[in-house]
A and B are shown apart, each in its own frame.
Chain A
Amino acid sequence: MPKAFTRILLFLILLFPVGLSFGQYGYHFGRNKIQYEDFEWKVMKTEHFDIYYYPEMLELAEHGAFFAEEAYSELEHRFNFSLNHRVPLIFYSTNLHFKQTNVTSGFIPDGVGGFFEFLKGRVVIPANGNLSRFRRVVRHEMVHVFTFNKVLRVMRDHRQPSDRFLPLWFTEGLAEYWSGEPDHQHEMVIRDAMFTNYLVPLESMYRIRGSFVMYKQGEAISRFISEVYGEERILMLIENIWKDRDFRVVMELTLQEDFSVIADRWLKWLKLQYYPDLAEIEVPSIIADGLSTEGFNAKPNYHRFPDGTRKVYFVGNHRGLSNVFEVEVGAEMQPLSEPKVVINGERSDNFESFHLFESRISVSSQGKLAFVTKSGGKDVLHIYDLNTDRLVATYRYDDLIAVYSPSWSPDEERIVFTAIKASGFSDLFVYHLDDGVLQQITADRYDDRDPSWSPTGDLIAFSSDRTYTGNEGHYNLFTYDTDGGHIRYVTQGARTDLSPTWSPDGSQLAFISTRRDSTGRFGAQDVWVTDMDQASAREPMVAQGSANTFDAEASWRPARRLTSLVSAAFDPVWAEDNHIIFTSFEGLGFSIRQLSGLDSLMTSPKEEMVTDVSRVGVSWSFDKMKLGVDAEPAPYRSKYKLDLAQGAVSQNPILGTTGGAMLAFSDMMGNDYLYLTIFNTGTGQRNFLKDVSLQLSRFKLNGRANLGYGLYRHSGRRYDVTDPDAPTKFPVFFETVYGGFGMVSYPLSKFTRIELTTSLNWSRKDISFRGVEREALMISNYFSLVRDNAQYWMNGPVAGWRASITAGYTSDILYSNVSYYTLMADVRKYFRITQGITFASWVMGRVNEGREARLFVLGGSWDLRGFNWFDVRGQKMWFTSHELRFPLINAPTVLAPILAPLGIASLRGTLFFDAAHAWNTDYYEKRQELRSGETVGSIGFGFRLNLFGAFVLRYDIGNRYGDGFRTKEKAFKQFFFGWNF
């Protein structure tokens, strides 16, 4: 869990020069990124790459190595460039393993296909069951590797500082463009942008920085440059980057036209391609009634209860967290109520996260909902009784890492689903509920997905790239015969056929399909229906994992296209006989909609197609690069490499001049960090050695438990308001400390962890103002329990809660001068009243009790507003704060980017109330210099402004109160930065 852990260690490192009073800062919030697996990493060298993999995924790694060398060979031509170093490629077999990587400290959301990390030049890629996709991602990341090195070379060739890089939209667009032909997702987004009129102009690409739309528009721009100006001009754009800081000028110099002309030409180029389709397209929001149109909605399913109630269930994200929703519908599938949450996701260990766009849900005829969530290091299958609103069972499978799209058998004794083992290949499994047997029904390199059990129980329809053109990314539909175990083609051809679902009588399959038109572009993803009356044993079988050329007689199967949508439909399900419920993509939104009048649609389809499913080609396979043929793969050994070397000099009116340096090292997998900090506060050459402070610390993140330990010497003047030895008015003294620390952080789940910290140090203080010299050998031990499931938005948490409790003991084991225990509790709860309004409450209590206990502090913009930093001090204290947070201006969005040019991401207001009481021995004993013995607080309002999505500026205006809020002390205005609590 490096995210939380690295925050802590960074905090400790930063805190160290100021003081060693870890006690009151010894806990931090944040979710846990857990290393569930102890990967046995191997390293194998190909001509240009160091391949990192674990033995379970050897075959995938061999494919990946081949894809990487293949991409390298191609990109050498495109970039006219060779790399002069070996590229580390770290492969994971599944997304769930990939999410555990320590190469990046952040959480990796679903949908991230891989990344290139600049510091060590590492490329990290998961496979997740689809070889074509894996190949494409490898190529995509290799384009980044070449682009990065080429730009670096260009800048250095011209002796220009390397602080300049290409805009993100260009690099990501180029990586998409040079990693393969535009796929159906590209067309989905571009068609939607063109037809619902939100295409972002070239001059405003910064508005969609980092978004999925940016990738696809960037890809379209690269293709436009290639087709209109010449493919070589793309490389020239990179080679000309040294000519100007402004990429628009670089574009003008390279493409030889004004930027506005280029931008205009791009729009015209797109319109010429897409506008001819305008005459035929249907807008989902016009032709299909919406059942849930707020936020993101996907994977619908339908159920009619015995009392006649009809409900549609789906997975959705309406306010930032994914849930299972239900919406009651009438006989014509019209919504009778607003969507209601059935199962809350992303708040508990059991329902850690839904695969919102990847995993279908299934409702049995008896009203049992089968769905999948991530829980711990793997996916689990849940059965939820919709009649009793109760979770009936949760199934975990030892060998299955990822699980997708369960589908009930009609007898409700079995569930078929797609799953991925540690090997990384996606296959179909049947789980027998009665005896708990897990049966694997496909076992090959192909991507088998979206299984759907027929009402008759003898067939399982599914989508797979096992089709003969699957190596080009195509999917067709197949059936699996549960009696004989045979697989047969249902559709065939260079198409992408997904999400089959049976009609209630089993005579038809509805599915989603798209294919390339005569121009080579994919069309819309439309709803299709194919006749399954002929799904019989006489149709040709597909041999699993080997060649399948047929000499059988022709087997014609009709299919009808029911829609001509703007961009895409997903996951159709039948709702009784005459309706299909599906997910539509329109205007960047995913909605649940229903298509009525199937009879007439099938009588007059948009398109009718009859294919001979017996006329298919041979099965395919990708090449592999045999790892370990010439040499045994070497086990991974941790070697430190320098990540950061940074020097700094600071001037402080109290502490004087401080100069220092920090060196950070880590290993290739990001599991092992070593920090060396050295600085000096000496005022003269003679004091140089006396005032040297240094710390050497190591943090190991490769296991579930994260460890940290280190040694330090601190010597110099300190300003410490928490030290009871220090003068109250001017708490500065000279201290020399030798010591060591150790810490363990163990995540119980994504949301909860325990932390143990210990430190032992010998210190000598020279408090000149008081003429005191003190020595101590202090040992401190702390235990914390931390939970955090808060949901963040632009300015801080908006929903969920977080809390921590800490207990500790500090003692001087040599002189017995100091001996006190510490107790702390901190609870923060966020009530999301509406989409934009949150009420936040924070309650905190702290106690240091014993001999020479340290003081806690409060004051400042982050807690007790209206007071200065450390104004309020005491060995014991309580504090509470309550805020009503509401939007003032929401910006930017793709659709209304009003403030984006100013970097303003969100402007929000807040009404707040803060109160605190600090004391030492007597609750009411007043000490004015500490502001203890009285309840103080503030009331006011404020503004929060998020700049560039990263910085939150805070401006608070209010009145400050003392003496139990009986005295209004003064009005105040405070300006600072930082997230909301």
Chain B
Amino acid sequence: MRIRIPHIVLLLFLSSCQTIQFENPSIVSDSDWLVDGQSQERTRAYAFDAALPFEEAWEYNAAAAFGPGSPLILEGVILAATRKGEVHTVELSTGRKRGFKSFSDGIEGSPAIDNGRMFISSAVGKRTLVAWDLKRGRKLWRYKGSGFESGLVVQDNMVIGADVDAVVKAFDQADGTLLWTRSLGEMTSVQSTPLLVNLDRLFVADDQGNAFLLNVHTGDVIWESLLTGPVYESATAADGLVFVPTTRGAIDALDLHTGQLVWTLTQELSTLRFGGLATDGKHVYAGATDGLVRAVDVATGEVVWSSSFPDVISAAPLVTDRHIFVGSMGKMIYGLNRETGALEWDAELKGRVKSAMAATQNGIVVLSEPRYITYFTSSEGSDVRKK
């Protein structure tokens, strides 16, 4: 068989696409999103003041839909994991594919990046946790065990996840050694991404309505508390409090030191499910299945404002200097005034928004059904090539 040069070029092109590699993944900047929500308190608050309205800069087809976590950003490249089990890298400035890699059968939680390594969890399959060397573009190690429906925490050379059997596992980032495990109970599961608080505390809530604070280095339980309902969506933490959305119409605020319930925002409808949360330290922002976006006072649990939309909102909001961005199941993205909740901008997408967003200094990255990553940027002063 004769091998022609175009064949070799094509082969090289394809093989280069099917990997994920960065030049200096260990060097990070403030604008990078290395974990779901940028911070491991999952505040989903990002300081920028780009003016509305936004325009669609580009749209990328990732071939499958996305879990509830946010995309990551590193070196001006977006990393998005799909429910097909792939991680796609897309150039922020152009929307062009940089590469992709298939890791498992279905990635529900966002990957996490630390020390030049990316950690990818999956819900089922033979490799439920994979460590990937971003510099060399190769697998470091993999772990086979129960699946992870939620995202990961990275800290002090550890990667920590809570699996579907409600067992919290801490691995050595370098070689995958299992450092400690902590079972949270029988017939319970963790669906919500854990939080890292005060750098050495891990907050985990399960789907039976139990909340735990663990020592991140040993896995020891510091306190355990009963919530007002099961937890399926992303919690957030600020100023010594952790805010937890439940599927039974409530948001619970717990004291991080004691686990005591500080306040509960309860809705009359017990089937109402709150979506993922975000906070700016002053308010907690939450969408819900009743289509309302609520701003809740972090100190009192009082609803400061609420804005109503026609469809379910389950994705966690994104907080910026002046705005709250929320995506809905009605294929819409909304930009609200952060102080009043007034609608200032909206745009229609090709599908439902079920994932948290990421932000850059000039815009927002939105994941939507059936398989699209869309970058919206301010129509003023954008350096991004518009579609």
* A-to-B contact residues, CB < 8 Å: 47, 74, 76-78, 80-82, 84, 153, 156-159, 229-233, 242-243, 253, 255-257
Q: Are A82 and B65 in contact (CB under 8 A)?
A: no
State the CA gap A233–B149 with chains docked (Å).
Answer: 14
Q: Are A77 and B273 in contact (CB under 8 A)?
A: yes
Assess whether B201 is interfacial by the CB under 8 Å rule: no
Task: Known A74-B271, A77-B272, A80-B289; judge A156-B65 contact (CB<8 A).
Answer: yes
Q: Are A256 and B189 in contact (CB under 8 A)?
A: yes
**Interchain residue pairs with CB less than 8 A apart (20):** A47-B310, A74-B271, A76-B291, A76-B311, A80-B273, A82-B330, A82-B352, A84-B331, A84-B352, A153-B352, A158-B105, A158-B106, A159-B83, A230-B208, A231-B247, A232-B207, A232-B230, A233-B207, A253-B124, A256-B188
Assess whether B3 is interfacial by the CB under 8 Å rule: no
Q: Are A256 and B187 in contact (CB under 8 A)?
A: yes
Taking CB atoms, residues of chain A closer than 8 Å to B189 are 256
Taking CB atoms, residues of chain B closer than 8 Å to A156 are 65, 369-370
Least CB separation from B275: chain A residue: A80
Taking CB atoms, residues of chain A closer than 8 Å to B352 are 82, 84, 153
State the CA gap A80–B83 with chains docked (Å).
Answer: 18
Task: Known A84-B352, A256-B187; judge A157-B65 contact (CB<8 A).
Answer: yes
Task: Known A47-B310, A157-B370; judge A76-B106 contact (CB<8 A).
Answer: no
Q: B247, B312, B370: which contacts A81 (Cβ < 8 A)?
A: B312
Among A158, A253, A255: residue with most chain B CB under 10 A? A158
Q: Are A159 and B84 in contact (CB under 8 A)?
A: yes
Assess whether B38 is interfacial by the CB under 8 Å rule: no
Assess whether B251 is interfacial by the CB under 8 Å rule: no
Taking CB atoms, residues of chain A closer than 8 Å to B105 are 158, 243
State the CA gap A230–B271 with chains docked (Å).
Answer: 12
State the CA gap A233–B84 with chains docked (Å).
Answer: 22
Q: Are B207 and A230 in contact (CB under 8 A)?
A: yes
Among A81, A157, A158, A257: residue with most chain B CB under 10 A? A157
State the CA gap A77–B291 with chains docked (Å).
Answer: 10
Taking CB atoms, residues of chain B closer than 8 Å to A81 are 312, 329
State the CA gap A456–B188 with chains docked (Å).
Answer: 66
State the CA gap A617–B162 with chains docked (Å).
Answer: 53
Taking CB atoms, residues of chain A closer than 8 Å to B28 are none
Q: Are A84 and B63 in contact (CB under 8 A)?
A: no
Assess whether B64 is interfacial by the CB under 8 Å rule: yes
Among B289, B314, B330, B331: residue with most chain A CB under 10 A? B289
The contact size tier of chain B is 35 or more
Kindly provide the distance from the CB of B124 to the nearest chain A CB, expressed in whole angstroms: 5
Q: Are B187 and A229 in contact (CB under 8 A)?
A: yes
Please give 5 more A-B residue pairs, beta carbons under 8 A apart, in addition to A159-B83, A243-B106: A76-B311, A157-B65, A158-B84, A229-B187, A231-B247
Taking CB atoms, residues of chain B closer than 8 Å to A233 are 207
Q: Are A77 and B269 in contact (CB under 8 A)?
A: yes
Kindly provide the distance from the CB of B376 to the nearest chain A CB, expressed in whole angstroms: 20
Q: Are B289 and A77 in contact (CB under 8 A)?
A: yes
* B-to-A contact residues, CB < 8 Å: 63-65, 83-84, 105-106, 123-124, 164-165, 187-189, 207-208, 230, 232, 247, 269, 271-273, 289-291, 310-312, 314, 328-331, 351-352, 369-370
Least CB separation from B189: chain A residue: A256
State the CA gap A552–B194 with chains docked (Å).
Answer: 64
State the CA gap A253–B124 with chains docked (Å).
Answer: 10
Q: Are A159 and B272 in contact (CB under 8 A)?
A: no
Taking CB atoms, residues of chain A closer than 8 Å to B208 are 230
State the CA gap A230–B232 with chains docked (Å).
Answer: 12
Taking CB atoms, residues of chain A closer than 8 Å to B84 are 158-159
Least CB separation from B331: chain A residue: A84
Taking CB atoms, residues of chain B closer than 8 Å to A82 are 311-312, 328-330, 352
Kindly provide the distance from the CB of B115 to the nearest chain A CB, expressed in whole angstroms: 30
Among B106, B188, B351: residue with most chain A CB under 10 A? B106
Kindly provide the distance from the CB of B147 to the nearest chain A CB, expressed in whole angstroms: 8
Q: Are B106 and A153 in contact (CB under 8 A)?
A: no
Kindly provide the distance from the CB of B20 to the nearest chain A CB, expressed in whole angstroms: 19
State the CA gap A230–B64 with chains docked (Å).
Answer: 30
Taking CB atoms, residues of chain A closer than 8 Å to B187 are 229, 255-257
State the CA gap A31–B289 with chains docked (Å).
Answer: 48
Kindly provide the distance from the CB of B58 to the nearest chain A CB, expressed in whole angstroms: 22
State the CA gap A256–B165 with chains docked (Å).
Answer: 7
Q: A47, A153, A159, A242: which contacts B63 (Cβ < 8 A)?
A: A159
Taking CB atoms, residues of chain A closer than 8 Å to B370 are 156-157
Kindly provide the distance from the CB of A239 to the nearest chain B CB, expressed in whole angstroms: 9
Taking CB atoms, residues of chain A closer than 8 Å to B271 are 74, 77-78, 231
Among A232, A233, A242, A256: residue with most chain B CB under 10 A? A232
Task: Known A76-B312, A156-B65, A157-B83; judge A242-B331 contact (CB<8 A).
Answer: no
Kindly provide the distance from the CB of B43 to the nearest chain A CB, expressed in whole angstroms: 23
Kindly provide the distance from the CB of A425 to the nearest chain B CB, expressed in whole angstroms: 31
State the CA gap A84–B65 with chains docked (Å).
Answer: 16
Taking CB atoms, residues of chain A closer than 8 Å to B310 are 47
Q: Are B289 and A84 in contact (CB under 8 A)?
A: no
Q: B64, B232, B328, B329: which contacts A159 (Cβ < 8 A)?
A: B64
State the CA gap A115–B134 with chains docked (Å).
Answer: 53
Taking CB atoms, residues of chain B closer than 8 Å to A159 are 63-64, 83-84
State the CA gap A153–B189 with chains docked (Å).
Answer: 23
Kindly provide the distance from the CB of B164 to the nearest chain A CB, expressed in whole angstroms: 8
Least CB separation from B313: chain A residue: A82
Q: Are B290 and A77 in contact (CB under 8 A)?
A: yes
Kindly provide the distance from the CB of A174 to the nearest chain B CB, expressed in whole angstroms: 14
Task: Known A77-B273, A157-B369; judge A243-B124 contact (CB<8 A).
Answer: yes
Task: Known A77-B271, A159-B83; judge A232-B63 contact (CB<8 A).
Answer: no
Task: Known A80-B312, A158-B83; judge A153-B232 contact (CB<8 A).
Answer: no
Taking CB atoms, residues of chain B closer than 8 Å to A76 are 289-291, 311-312
State the CA gap A157–B164 with chains docked (Å).
Answer: 20
Kindly provide the distance from the CB of A51 to the nearest chain B CB, expressed in whole angstroms: 18
State the CA gap A81–B331 with chains docked (Å).
Answer: 12
Taking CB atoms, residues of chain B closer than 8 Å to A229 are 187
Q: B106, B164, B269: which contacts A242 (Cβ < 8 A)?
A: B106
Kindly provide the distance from the CB of A84 to the nearest chain B CB, expressed in whole angstroms: 6
Taking CB atoms, residues of chain B closer than 8 Å to A78 are 271
Among all A-B residue pairs, the 8 with the closest Cβ atoms: A157-B65, A82-B329, A82-B311, A77-B271, A77-B289, A159-B84, A159-B64, A158-B83
Q: Are B64 and A84 in contact (CB under 8 A)?
A: no
State the CA gap A78–B84 with chains docked (Å).
Answer: 25
Kindly provide the distance from the CB of A731 to the nearest chain B CB, expressed in whole angstroms: 50
Q: Are A80 and B314 in contact (CB under 8 A)?
A: yes
State the CA gap A231–B232 with chains docked (Å).
Answer: 12
State the CA gap A748–B63 with chains docked (Å).
Answer: 56
